[in-house]
Structure 1
Amino acid sequence: MVQNKNTIKHNRLDAFLTSVQKKDIPDLVLIYGESFLAKQAFKTLSSFLLGNDNNQFALETLEGGSVSMGDIIEQVSTFSLLVSKKIVTIKNAPLFQTHQKNQEFSFSPSDLDRLIDFIEKGIPENHYLILTTAQVDKRKKIYKKIADKGLIIDCSVAQGAKKADLDEQRFVLQSITDQILSKSRKSLDNKAFHALVELTGFNLDLLSQNLEKLIAYSGKAKIISFADVNAVVKRDKKDPIFNLTNAVMVKDVKNALFYLDSLFNEGFHPLQILKSFENLIRKLILVKCLTQKFYKNNKIHLKTLNFNSFKLSVLPKIIHHDKQTKIIIEDREKYLSKEDSNKKTKIVNDLFLAPNPQNSYPVFQIFQKSENFSLNELNQALIFFSDLDYRLKSTSFDAKTAIENFIIKICSKGGFERDTEKY
């Protein structure tokens, strides 16, 4: 086996792999830097190494903060009966943190010595150990050993404010944008790209998510415009609670709890957060009531419906529903107030599913995500919030824990059931 002592930048990995054979790849690899780029590098490398082998049985992923060095060595050393090759990946491997007594998230000096000894003796044939971490310390013995025996893929990006640093960040953002858009044969004009970068910042995961939204929103158009970016992306940066409610709508409990913690740290009052959830649940209930009518007479599968089909087949029904709702509200208000029929009645938009039909993409999103919930669990969630609202205004208790409990329940597989337990 060729010992490749070079450190390869993430953007040179594809070229490197085309210049070597599988047998030339070291069985020890360290990938460090930006998490998004590291994930890409791992996917590219593992696909190259495994080829047509069954990835389901050939890949073993362990979390660095919760696995012992003994478990790592055992996993790498154990042969599989199902596949000839095996890749053991240690995510977020705590190789370079300063070890402290009773600290779970770093390896002790003896752990690292044990790993170095294992590397020296040699990893079993056709087995690979891939370590990923955010940062490295090139002075450390473990880094030098990996550099000597294995391959290092550098996914770091300069974080400074100097022109050279900003140029590197810009280059990475442009490269990721081109990669994602090329799969859909789309492009982004310069004004749109500048607007996207301004709204996203150097956050590659968020950039990727926003590009996927823009691909869906732009439909058959080959060029994504500034107007598309302005319509789809603006809320991600300007509405901090949007990230929380959006995570709940896709039942992403980990991110939902993270955003909730961030909001509390930023000084948001529990009633502000509670009101946002109440508005979301009420909106989802309205959506579910309408979609139930659809399913009675039509075979519409919102989960798999694309944006253009939604605009053609579903949006007209929503607009018609809103018009009928408006008429009912106006008639009711006139009857109750006994005002002159020529006087305009103030209409609250909360009961409308598409208050701005010209900007229909957010409507499309909430209709799709409503499929993650049943009408029953939404009704139970609303009852929960009514109880919680009363208690927030009348008693003293841990509101954050109560809202966390709600998030865990509504994002869980079993769905949300009303909890009568007192917090």
Structure 2
Amino acid sequence: MVQNKNKVKHDNLDVFLKSVQEKDIPNLVLIYGESYLVTQAFKTLSSFVLGKDFQKFAIETLEGRSVSMGDIIEQVSTFSFLVSKKMVIVKNIPLFYPPQNNSDIRFSSSDIDHLMAFIENGLPENHYLILTSTLIDKRKKIYKAIADKGLIIDCSVAQGVRKVDMDEQRAVLQTMANKILSSSKKTMDNQAFHALMELTQFNLYLFSQNLEKLMAFTGKSLKISITDVKAVVKRDKKDPIFNLTNAFMAKDVKSALFYLNSLFNEGFHPLQILKSFENQIRKLILVKCFTQNVRQNHTMSFGKMNFNAFKMQVLPEIILYDEHLKGMIEEHDTYFSKGDPKKKTKKLNDLFLAPNPQNAYPVFQIFKNSDNFSLKELNQALFFLSDLDFRLKSSTFDEKTALENFIIKTCSKGGFVYAPENQNRRHHF
């Protein structure tokens, strides 16, 4: 069921369009989220508004990173000689995030005001402006203006490794598979679906391409089996190492072991993996120390906190903490350099909780994950990795098994106990 008249989720778009008439669709639409779902949502919407016969002539496509605001408004305002309706889609418009490189268009505050005035005055009749973006910021005035005057289609999908996030991703893939398979009246059993999902992970374009291959491979057969999946689909997706650390910090043992095995198969050196774990644990320890020392009188569950609340309530304290730490480092640096700039130490950004406060979401994720561990568990894990680092550099053993053991012990519910049992033989294997 649609929550309100100007916002609809991607999986409810078909139901929404069946409940309205073409004339009820606002001529201003924002579609944001997963690029594959955004593309599909636009196809569905444009087909509904324009009909299938005139889409080729009625749609004007602009690239948001290389078109000026003046050109966007001019295109929407210009009438077509061929058809009565016109739809201008601006892909990846940078209204809510900075341009990705120096060649991208940068919208000024004047540009945004110009667009808001254009929206407020109303678009020409039978002219539609469709804006797409991967990210949004609901606090910005332009978002509120679009929400007030137009339609917003939410194509976002949770990207985490928590069970609830994985369940949402699985549901999106299942819906997507059902829609693609229905076109050829084919079906896929659960074993085949889960095998395909494991091979592609949450990559919607890759998932759809492999499903198309399977449909062609099975020919007249109406059922796709796990044998077909194994025969056609190869695991060609390389997992970045942060997938492993994300699963580890969420204490998702199954996913962490899966990504560890994948990284070993791709030729990652054990020390690369170990150092990634070390970096994350050190960061979590910094967070724990911050919450104990700075927020000792303000107990708070970060796991239940949303991003906006974190930015308003916690981020200002983090910035003050980092500024104080920066001052101490500079004072130390000045004292020991004796005024000689050549003796100044390097910037120690690893000690700061938020080296880039403008990009606060990764900081928010680390604080959320810190609730999964106690400070004692993190200290024990750091001792383990220190010993393992020594062993990797001085002896031969099964590195993969040792790292698997580390993941299982650290993520176990009983807590990780290592240092007391090994204090007499640490670094002496």
TM-score bin, normalised by smaller chain: 0.5 to 0.7
Q: 1:102: Cα distance to partner?
A: 6.4
C-alpha contact 1:7 1:154 (8 A) present in aligned 2:
yes
Within a 5 Å distance, the mapping from 1:274-293 to structure 2 comes to: none
CA distance in 1, matches of 2:186, 2:101: 53
Instruction: State, as a whole percentage, how many aligned pairs show the same letter.
Output: 70
Tell me the equivalent position of 2:236.
Answer: 236
Tell me, what secondary structure is at the counterpart of 1:154? strand
Tell me, what secondary structure is at the counterpart of 1:136? coil
Tell me the equivalent position of 2:33.
Answer: 33
Q: Deviations over 1:25-45 (max 9, x none)?
A: 101000000011101100000
Which amino acid counterpart does residue 61 of structure 1 have in structure 2? Answer: T
Change in 2 beyond 3 A, CA 1:83/1:53: farther
Q: 1:162: Cα distance to partner?
A: 1.6
CA distance in 2, matches of 1:129, 1:100: 23
Which amino acid counterpart does residue 186 of structure 1 have in structure 2? Answer: K
Q: 1:89: Cα distance to partner?
A: 0.2
CA distance in 1, matches of 2:208, 2:146: 31
Tell me the equivalent position of 2:245.
Answer: none
Tell me the equivalent position of 1:46.
Answer: 46
C-alpha contact 2:199 2:234 (8 A) present in aligned 1:
yes
Aligned length: 240
Tell me the equivalent position of 2:108.
Answer: 108
Within a 5 Å distance, the mapping from 1:122-133 to structure 2 comes to: 122-133=122-133
Q: Deviations over 1:2-25 (max 9, x none)?
A: xx7531000111111111111111
Tell me the equivalent position of 2:15.
Answer: 15
Tell me, what secondary structure is at the counterpart of 2:236? helix
CA distance in 2, matches of 1:7, 1:105: 28
CA distance in 2, matches of 1:15, 1:167: 22
Change in 2 beyond 3 A, CA 1:99/1:36: closer
Within a 5 Å distance, the mapping from 1:53-202 to structure 2 comes to: 53-98=53-98, 104-202=104-202
Change in 2 beyond 3 A, CA 1:198/1:148: same
Q: Deviations over 1:235-262 (max 9, x none)?
A: 534799xxxxxxxxxxxxxxxxxxxxxx
Give the CA RMSD over aligned residues: 2.4
Detail structure 1 runs of 4+ shifted over 4 Å in the superposition.
99-103
Tell me the equivalent position of 2:317.
Answer: none
C-alpha contact 1:99 1:108 (8 A) present in aligned 2:
no
Q: Deviations over 1:125-167 (max 9, x none)?
A: 0000000010100001100000000000000001111211111
Which amino acid counterpart does residue 142 of structure 2 have in structure 1? Answer: I
Q: Does residue 223 of structure 2 align to residue 223 of structure 1? A: yes
Q: 1:103: Cα distance to partner?
A: 6.2
Tell me, what secondary structure is at the counterpart of 2:154? strand
Q: Deviations over 1:356-412 (max 9, x none)?
A: xxxxxxxxxxxxxxxxxxxxxxxxxxxxxxxxxxxxxxxxxxxxxxxxxxxxxxxxx
Please give the TM-score of this superposition, normalised by the length of structure 1: 0.54
C-alpha contact 1:5 1:148 (8 A) present in aligned 2:
no
Please give the TM-score of this superposition, normalised by the length of structure 2: 0.53
Q: Deviations over 1:308-366 (max 9, x none)?
A: xxxxxxxxxxxxxxxxxxxxxxxxxxxxxxxxxxxxxxxxxxxxxxxxxxxxxxxxxxx
C-alpha contact 2:87 2:128 (8 A) present in aligned 1:
yes
